[in-house]
Structure 1
Amino acid sequence: MKKFLLLASATMISAPAFAADVVMEEPPAPVVMEVPATRDWSGLYVGLQAGYGFGDDGQVELSPFTPALVGPFTPAGAPVGSSFNANGDFDDGFVGGAHIGYDQQYGKIVLGGILDINYTDLGDEQRAFSRSPAEYVVERDLDYLATLRGRLGYAFNDRFMAYATGGLAYGQVDFNYRQGAASPASTVSTSGGQDSDFGYTVGGGIEMRATDKISFGLEYLYTNLGGNDYSANLQGGPFGGVGGAAGTNPGGTTLVGSDDDFDFHTIQAKVSYRF
């Protein structure tokens, strides 16, 4: 009996100590999944562009403004002082420069603006011939072109966007006049030697994001800088004026270029750095 009581007492004394040694396992902490931030097209960007420009031939018409009594530009049987069309060639060439812009994305719609400036190797040349015979050439050269445009884009995803664009265009156009060696006339005065022309430009493009910071694009623009006026006063021989044939115009004959629009197309590849 004593042994039983001693065993029971020992069991009761050791029970709390045994309970203190029991370890309760806690449930694992929930795993937090990091969702990558969705990038969009919002923000400032700068970059470079380069491409090719081209236009239509025969954009300028020359005509003798002063009716000549002896018609050096008038085909046989045609009315004296009739206008004539010059043979025109548009000088296609390089277009390239830099741009800066800003985009803001709203859902799938991207709104923005862009300012760019380009050096160009574009122009046109008009050649005319009189019955003297002689050659007369008027050239227009576009030195540089700047545009300020809005952009309306659609973001298919965070890597690819298509857009339409349009706005104001500004160009510096130089005029040059020259005569062939066989010409009997001398140029007394010219006007319209250089014009600062404002016009408009419209087009569209696509843009692809290669990294978070770098994007590549392809853009087409149609640009119209409006009309240009040019004139050259010719004297001598059948043109009248000083040294001219008797009975011809005392003030010489003035050639004037028509105000046909100076318009052209450009296609450019672009690379931009996005901040």
Structure 2
Amino acid sequence: MRTKSLLSAATMLVAGLAFASPAMAQEADPKPFDGLYVGGTVGFDAQPNDTRSAILFDRNLDGAFTESVVTATGANAFAPTTAQPGAGFCNGRATSSGKLTGCTNDKDNISYSGRIGFDKQYGHLVFGVVGEFGKSEVRDSVSAFSTTPASYTMTRKIDFNANARLRAGYAFDKTLFYATGGGAYAKTSSSFTTSNTANAFADNGSKHDAWGFVAGGGIEQKLGRHFSIGLEYLYNQYNDDDYRVRVTRGTGPATNPFVLAPNTTGTDFRRNDPKFRWSTVRATANFRF
């Protein structure tokens, strides 16, 4: 998995930074990780392979999302058939009307943030708090393919995210190893696209609030009394389950599966994976006052 590869690379880089840093002549500082600091990060975010991602349907609009969309003959409109083997779901963005011919993977990308924090050092032990505000460029999509054939894609991305974390570590002279974790908030932006031109589609708004947590660890290396660099890994997870899309008849016939009697009002869509998650490996730079 991409996340495991990311963790392996991070482990090697952290070890290299810890043991390859040369001793540098600098002023004696009995508490190099004590006090207020500001800084920034830049890194790469990788999402897990959500192989079970799918779109769920609420045919009777009771909010349960447990129904199947069926045709007038009673067949599941999103199950593969001999005639339409490309029906079904994929954990990515549709590029054609069939799963077998067009589905791209989720988009991994860079992230960046600013931070402010405060540490208190007691001998080798360091305890602190840090707050961050930034943005991840990851995009997460899921697609459904009907036997029509047609594609339906739900995509989400991050407008901005912030977190407030505790951290605790052990300092070896000018090198600090630490663990960190805390609560997080993200403003997400969702969208829906389809190749179905017969029905009409409307969503409940593209912007939503997502709450979650971040956790991880890292290494920080002082390069002087006021400046330090580091390497950090964070696991990010947000609960993002508010986005809905409703499909109504539009110009389609009364036998259209989405408005088939007795539930003729329409059908609601939502994702089956409310957790928006990714792993981050990033470089850090801090200025300590």
TM-score, normalised with respect to structure 1: 0.76
The corresponding residue for 2:283 is: 269
Task: State which of 170, 173, 176 in structure 1 corresponds to 2:191.
Answer: 176
Q: How does 1:1-275 map to 2 (within 5 A)?
A: 38-58=30-50, 60-66=53-59, 67-70=68-71, 71-76=76-81, 84-88=88-92, 89-157=105-173, 159-180=174-195, 183-191=196-204, 193-236=206-249, 243-246=252-255, 248-249=260-261, 250-275=264-289
- 1:28-56 residue CA offsets vs partner (Å, 9 max, x unmatched): xxxxxxx9563431110001110111112
Q: Which amino acid aligns with 1:63?
A: L
User: How many residue pairs are counted as aligned between the two chains?
Assistant: 229
- 1:94-116 residue CA offsets vs partner (Å, 9 max, x unmatched): 10021100111001100101001
- Between the two structures, name the one with larger relative contact order (CA 8 Å, sep ≥ 6): 2
- Give 1:223 shift: 1.0
C-alpha separation in 1, matches of 2:58 and 2:230: 48
Conserved? CA contact 2:209–2:240, under 8 Å: no
- 1:219-251 residue CA offsets vs partner (Å, 9 max, x unmatched): 100011024143222234xxxx76423482422
C-alpha separation in 1, matches of 2:107 and 2:232: 21
Greater gyration radius: 1
Conserved? CA contact 1:132–1:184, under 8 Å: no
Q: Which amino acid aligns with 2:243?
A: Y
Please tell me the root mean square deviation across aligned C-alpha atoms, in Å.
Answer: 2.4
C-alpha separation in 1, matches of 2:81 and 2:35: 66
- Give 1:68 shift: 4.0
Report the CA distance shift for 1:91/1:205 in structure 2 as closer, same or farther (over 3 A). same
- Runs of at least 5 residues in structure 2 that lack an aligned partner in the other structure: 1-26, 60-67, 93-104
After superposing on structure 2, the runs of 4+ consecutive aligned residues of structure 1 that deviate more than 4 Å are none
- Give 1:126 shift: 1.4
Conserved? CA contact 1:54–1:90, under 8 Å: no
Q: How many percent of aligned residue pairs carry the same amino acid? A: 31
Report the CA distance shift for 1:43/1:133 in structure 2 as closer, same or farther (over 3 A). same
- Give 1:76 shift: 4.2
C-alpha separation in 2, matches of 1:133 and 1:93: 31
Report the CA distance shift for 1:37/1:69 in structure 2 as closer, same or farther (over 3 A). closer
C-alpha separation in 2, matches of 1:242 and 1:208: 64
- Give 1:256 shift: 2.3
Report the CA distance shift for 1:133/1:255 in structure 2 as closer, same or farther (over 3 A). same
Conserved? CA contact 2:198–2:252, under 8 Å: no
Between stretches 56-65 and 119-128, larger displacement belongs to 56-65
Q: Which amino acid aligns with 2:78?
A: F
C-alpha separation in 2, matches of 1:37 and 1:201: 31
User: What secondary structure sits across from 1:57 in the alignment?
Assistant: coil
- Give 1:168 shift: 0.7
- Give 1:61 shift: 1.9
Report the CA distance shift for 1:96/1:185 in structure 2 as closer, same or farther (over 3 A). same
